Chain A
Amino acid sequence: MAGLVAAKKCITPLVVIKRLSSPEYKAQAAYHKKVVDHYENPRNVGSLDKTSKNVGTGLVGAPACGDVMKLQIEVDDHGKIVDARFKTFGCGSAIASSSLVTEWVKGKSIDEALTIQNTDIAKELCLPPVKLHCSMLAEDAIKAALHDYRLKQKDGKIEEVKASN
């Protein structure tokens, strides 16, 4: 019902041509519906405990570039990813890319997760060429999270999250 308050009814003069069904309006919608879906119903938004030994955190991107993704994975003792969470500062395609990645890594082993390619993400979301960098950043994010987890396991102690240059 809020939609009725919000939107303006469109009026055309009777003397001018009968209203067209405005096919252009439907076609121009800039986002693929999969991107919109991830945006409106995001999966796995949130945070895991970054101090935990089983959690790997990846923080990639830069505010100055308009894209920052934080991706966290929780891995069980058998090396399987049991939970994933993300937070993103970025456009709709960036949010969708990181949301999709958290869906994909759940249930995978660490090595399987490393095989996720940005091209798969872009294809799944039908990203236009100008948005391909969003999928690349999502791939970077998952790799960074896995790298952080590996470091934690190797050192056997808690490390702070830091983004490397």
Chain B
Amino acid sequence: MTQYYGVVTELIKSRELENDELRPLYMDFQATTPMDPRVLDAMLPYQVNYYGNPHSRTHAYGWESESAMEKARKQVADLIAADPREIVFTSGATESNNMSIKLLEGTIRQDTSLVSVMTVNNEIGVRQPVEDIGRICRSRNVFFHTDAAQAVGKIPINVSDWKVDLMSISGHKIYGPKGVGALYVRRRPRVRMEPLQNGGGQERGLRSGTVPTPLAVGLGAACDIAQQELEYDHSRVSMLANRLVRKIMSEIPDVVMNGDPEQRYPGCINLSFAYVEGESLLMALKDVALSSGSACTSASLEPSYVLRAIGTDEDLAHSSIRFGIGRFSTEAEVDYTADKCIQQVKRLREMSPLWEMVQEGIDLKSIKWTQH
């Protein structure tokens, strides 16, 4: 088991700095995650000491950098039960997704197509039945790609059992650095690909460009730590999620959890608070960093397409909030968030004409509303 230890971990363990300012609690782990201090410790030597280009073949700087890169590649592969030769480093899951779609254009057989499904959804936390999809795709000779950005390091993944051909991995969703990701490309049966970017032929010609060793090392360390701590993190996040949901639902009525209650990753909780609009609730909870599926908070005025796709009523889609719980969330944060949420929902319902009408016994669906 690799031990990660260095200046960053030491500092965070030992003391806090002067000049610290109060900032909101972070409950938005699906948007991004802080780097685990151990990951930063793993990366720092490669920024200032072992700074060679991993593709330099002629001197020790290159050799030590390449060695670190290959070690990181193995760490990523181990997390998803793949072979290291099947991992390509990219700039993130978005690039990996684009590379996978380009495969479709690069193929010559007429009957080939590509199925692409998210493993765990980032808005509602629902986990798709990837094993079944993989089995069906394999039996029909169709490539199967999955964007596992929200799943890697959080649930056990086995690309062979799942019969996945391509998988996108994101660094900054698993307490790793931003700006790096990976694409898993199956070797047997071989998945032939056209590169998105051409150049010096790095990463077996699939993705040219110098592999950024510090970032790759960071991704590797994040995957390694995730593998070691997966079970513990999962049970802890489940416990905190249950605590949050049970507390909220026991205190206020008319709260709906969006998405399947069983097939889900517990750390992503999407709740709709009826008769209260999502953005106003976010404003009320201004000392907690959250996000909402409400139209007001997206740049367009459209509510979340995910909620619409699962058939959520439009007014409930406008009332949704996503709570993200992660490795560094604490009971105190969850309790504070739940208490504040309960208090503010009650206050906003007092200000809501819909709540008033419901209390008077009016059926909201029977009203003819003005359109604007």
Contact = CB atoms under 8 A, between A and B. Distances in A.
A87 B355 CA distance: 10
B279 A88 contact: no
Interface residues of A, number: 53
Interface residues of B, number: 53
A90 B277 contact: yes
Nearest to B364: A63
Contact of B280 (A12, A62, A95): A95
A19 B296 contact: no
Interface string B287-322: 110000011100101010000000001110010000
A13 B369 CA distance: 55
A19 B372 contact: no
B157 interface: no
Interface in B351-372: 351-356, 364, 367-372
B350 interface: yes
Contacts of A162: 368
A60 interface: yes
A45 B370 contact: no
A64 B352 CA distance: 15
B371 A14 contact: no
A89 B369 contact: no
A47 B356 contact: yes
B130 to A, nearest CB: 34
Interface in A1-42: 3-15, 19, 22, 25, 31, 36, 39, 42
Interface in B29-60: 40
A9 B20 contact: yes
A13 B353 contact: no
Contacts of A150: none
A125 B83 CA distance: 58
Interface in B1-52: 7-8, 11-12, 16-17, 19-26, 40
Given A10-B20, A10-B23, A66-B315, A163 B369 contact: yes
Contact of B332 (A5, A13, A92): A5
A115 interface: no
B296 A88 contact: no
A67 interface: yes
> B7, B294, B315 — which one has the most chain A CB atoms within 10 A of its CB?
B315
A92 B299 CA distance: 15
B352 A87 contact: yes
Contacts of A68: 353-354, 369
B352 A61 contact: no
B135 to A, nearest CB: 40
Interface of A: 3-15, 19, 22, 25, 31, 36, 39, 42, 45, 47, 59-70, 87-95, 130, 133, 136-137, 140, 144, 162-165
11 contacts: A7-B23, A8-B333, A13-B8, A15-B7, A47-B356, A62-B371, A66-B277, A66-B296, A68-B354, A69-B353, A91-B283
Given A89-B355, A91-B283, 12 more contacts: A10-B21, A13-B12, A19-B19, A59-B353, A61-B369, A62-B369, A64-B314, A66-B314, A87-B351, A91-B279, A91-B280, A93-B296
